[in-house]
Amino acid sequence: MSQYLLLWLLLFFSAEACAELKAQWNQGKAGISLRINLSETLTEQQKKLLYSGFPTFSHLEVRWLDGDIRRSLVFISECTVKYDLWEEKFQLLHFLELRKESSLQSFQQYQDLCLLADIRSQSNLIHLARQGARLEVRLDISQVSTEFAQDVRSWLIQQQSGVMRGLFSHMLGDLKLSESVATEVLAPPLAQDQEKRLERTDAKGANHG
């Protein structure tokens, strides 16, 4: 009986592992891209924040990983949404650099817009297509914008007047301003024929450029 239980546990955790984040190559109308969808990794607390009724900031970034060293940025996306308690739907307030107020039809639309890393940069794609790579994917969901986080820090600094100095060495170090998930994902190399297609696209782009 205990063996069956052990086997069931192993299968369960393997299934959990399979449900982990994946990077998948995608052939769309606009060309080849590498997609990482973070919808499944959203934690309960992050969902709670999104439904809090206050403007909520989503910051998604993907970086190369070389050993344990984080390298250059491959993808970044930022958006702000607010759940309207009375209308029971999401409003998009900002997307990337743009102020873009509009209603979202569903939570799924928010996920497609803000939780999907769609890597299209040719220089990154060619490198990824040849060798594959380990990537770090980070999603921060917060009620406090990056700009305000800086203001909080400044305000805390102002409280360290000379007279009370020494008081603060015990605190103020680790404000938790966002609910974050950071995961590693293995991007597989692209099949050879598709890789050649990608290189041709890049060469055309270079000629046109």
- Cβ-contact 75, 61 below 8 angstroms: yes
Q: Which of the ranges 61-69, 131-139, 156-164, 198-206 carries the binding residues for another protein, by CB under 8 A?
A: 156-164
Alpha helices (H) along the chain: 2-18, 44-50, 107-114, 122-131, 146-158, 192-208
Tokens of 42: 């959203």
Decide whether 156 or 203 has the Cβ nearer to another protein.
Answer: 156
Question: Which region, judged by CB under 8 A, interacts with another protein, from 9-17, 103-111, 173-181, 201-209?
Answer: 173-181
Of positions 13, 19, 26, 53, contacts another protein by CB under 8 A: 53
3-state SS assignment for residue 76: strand
Structure tokens at 191: 């099949």
Least spacing, CB of residue 138 vs another protein, in Å: 18
Gap between the Cα atoms of 32 and 75, Å rounded: 15
How far does Cα 86 stand from its chain's mean position? 29
Residues 58-97, mask of contacts with another protein (x by CB under 8 A): ---------------------------xx-----------
Compose the 3-32 pattern: x for residues touching another protein by CB under 8 A, - for all others: ------------------------------
CB 159, min distance to another protein, A: 6
Interface with another protein (CB under 8 A), residue from 71, 100, 153, 196: 153
Stretch in the footprint of another protein (CB under 8 A) among 19-27, 63-71, 154-162, 198-206:
154-162
Strand-pair partners of 149: none
Residue 42 CB contacts under 8 Å (≥ 6 apart), including other chains: 111, 115, 139, 181
- Give least dist CB 137 to another protein, A: 22
- 158 lines the binding site for another protein (CB under 8 A): yes
200 binds another protein (CB under 8 A): no
Spatial neighbors of 135 by CB under 8 A, at least 6 apart, are 23, 36, 62, 63, 64, 65, 74, 184, 185, 186, 187
Enumerate binding residues for another protein (CB under 8 A).
Answer: 48-49, 52-55, 85-86, 143-144, 148, 151-177
